[in-house]
Structure 1
Amino acid sequence: MAVIRRAFVTALLIGLAACSNLPPQNKQPLPDWQLHQQQLQTLQQWHLNGKLAFRSPAESGSASLRWQQQQQQYQMRLSGIFGIGTTYIEGNDQQVTLRQGDEQLVAANSQQLTGDLLGVPLSVEDLTYWARGIPTPSGTITAQSHDPQGLLSQLEQDGWQLAFSRYRQSGQWLLPGKIDGQKGELSFKLVIKRWEFE
C-alpha cells in the first residue's frame, strides 16, 4: 500500500511539474505586427461597454460608457458623468453633436466637444484605433513598444503617452481591456468590460 501511495505521489508531482512548464493560454507571439494592425483596421463595427475616467486641472470624473461604432459613424452614451443624466456624443468625420437633456451642441470635431465637456480634448477618431490596441494611421508616432506576445504595450502619439494592458480574446480579435493616456496635466483611462460585434 505504501509503495502504491509513493508511486501515486511521485506521478502527481511529475504531472504538476509538467503543467507548470506549459505556456499560458493566449500567449503565443503574434506572427506579424503589421498584419495584426491591418486585420484590426478591418474591425469597424462594434458595441463596447466600459468605463471612462478623466482628469484635467479643472475637472475630473468618470462615467459608464456605451459605444456603438459603424464605419465612420459613432454614438457614445456617457452615464453618471458629474452626477447628472445621460450624455450622448454622436458623430462622424464631418460633424459631432453632443446632447445632454434638452441641450444640444454641435462642433466640427470631437476634441472641441470633449474638451468643453470633460476638460480633456479627446479625439473619438483616435480612440477608435487606440481601443483596438493599434496606433492611429494618420497620427505621428514618437515611440512604441510591444509586450513579449508582440502586442502594443506603450505608444507615444501626437503628444499622448499611452499604455495598453489586460489583453484578452474577444471573438476572433485579441484586444486590450485597459488604455491609460496622459498628455501633460491631462489624462484618461478607458476600461473595456465587454465587446459585441455585428
Structure 2
Amino acid sequence: MRLLLPWLILFLGACAWQNPQPPASIANWQKHTEHLQQLDLWLLEGKLGYRDSRDGGSAWVNWRQSGAAFDLQLHGPFGSGATRILGDDNHAELQQSGEDTLTAVSPAALTEQLFGWQWPVDQLQFWVRGIPSPHEPTVLRTHNAEGTLAVLQQSNWQLEFTGYEQVGQWVLPSRIKGNSGEFSFTLIVKRWHPGDTAP
C-alpha cells in the first residue's frame, strides 16, 4: 500500500490539471469577439508614440473607419503639420502638405516612407478594437477573465493591451503597446466614437 500511495497522489494530481471544461474566460472571449466583429464604423482620437533603433517621435491620431475604408490623420510628426493616409483594401494614398500625393496598394507601404518601417495599418484596424486580424495567422493569444485580449502575437508583432474602457455597449482598448524587433509603438486612445465617424 505504501508503494501505491505515491503513484496514487501523482495520478490524482495529474487529473486535477486536466479540465475538460473550457475556462470562463474562453467563453467570454468568444462572445466578446463576436460582438466586436459587428463594429465596423468608428472614430478614435488618441496619441501615437513610435520608436526604432535610431529615432522616435509622437503624433496625435484621428482615425475614421467605415467598413474597409479608412482615413487616418496624424498631426504633429515629421515637422510638417498634418499627414493623412486613406484608402481601402485595394488602394492607399499618402497626403502631406506641400508634397505630391503618393499611392500604393497598402497603407503599410506608405508608412515606411514616414517612419522608415511599415506600421501595420491593415491589421491595426482590428487590433485597435482588441481582436486579431482574421486575415493573418495568430501565433499567440492570451486574454483576461472578462474576455478582453491581453497579449497577441500576429504578423511578427507582439501586442500588449494594457487598458480598456466601456463605451456604450462596447468594451474597447484604451492603450496598446506593439513591438516588432527594433520597432515599437504605443497607442493611447483618448476618445472612442463607436458607430460614428464624426464626433
TM range (shorter): 0.7 to 0.9
* Cα displacement string for residues 43-82 of structure 1 (whole angstroms, at most 9, x for unaligned residues): 0011110011111234311100011111111101100012
Greater relative CO (CA pairs within 8 A, separation 6+): 2
Find 1:106's aligned residue among 103, 118, 128. Answer: 103
Task: Give the aligned partner of residue 87 of structure 1.
Answer: 83
- The answer on whether the counterparts of 1:37 and 1:134 sit within 8 Å (CA) in structure 2 is yes
Deviation at 1:149, TM superposition (A): 2.2
Counterpart-to-counterpart distance in 2, 1:30 and 1:113: 37
Give unmatched runs, 5+ long, in structure 2.
1-23
Task: Give the aligned partner of residue 50 of structure 1.
Answer: 46
Identity %: 40
Residue identity in the other structure for 2:43: H
Question: Matches of residues 6-21 of structure 1 in structure 2 within 5 Å?
Answer: none
Residue identity in the other structure for 1:73: A
Counterpart-to-counterpart distance in 2, 1:109 and 1:194: 26
Find 1:170's aligned residue among 160, 167, 170. Answer: 167
* Cα displacement string for residues 80-103 of structure 1 (whole angstroms, at most 9, x for unaligned residues): 012321001111001110000132
Task: Give the aligned partner of residue 138 of structure 2.
Answer: 141
Find 2:176's aligned residue among 167, 179, 192. Answer: 179
TM-score, normalization by structure 2: 0.81
Q: How many residues align?
A: 171
1:148 alignment partner, SS class: coil
Residue identity in the other structure for 1:133: G
Task: Give the aligned partner of residue 97 of structure 1.
Answer: 93
Residue identity in the other structure for 2:30: Q
1:32 alignment partner, SS class: helix
- The answer on whether the counterparts of 1:111 and 1:123 sit within 8 Å (CA) in structure 2 is yes
Counterpart-to-counterpart distance in 1, 2:170 and 2:117: 29
Deviation at 1:32, TM superposition (A): 2.8
* Cα displacement string for residues 135-167 of structure 1 (whole angstroms, at most 9, x for unaligned residues): 111112111111232211011112101000211
Q: Over aligned residue pairs, what C-alpha RMSD do you find?
A: 1.6
- The answer on whether the counterparts of 1:111 and 1:122 sit within 8 Å (CA) in structure 2 is yes
Give unmatched runs, 5+ long, in structure 1.
1-27
Counterpart-to-counterpart distance in 2, 1:59 and 1:95: 29
- The answer on whether the counterparts of 2:28 and 2:145 sit within 8 Å (CA) in structure 1 is no
Counterpart-to-counterpart distance in 1, 2:60 and 2:143: 29
2:117 alignment partner, SS class: coil
Find 1:119's aligned residue among 116, 119, 142. Answer: 116
Mapped pair 1:66 → 2:62 = yes
Stretches (4+) displaced over 6 A: none
TM-score, normalization by structure 1: 0.81
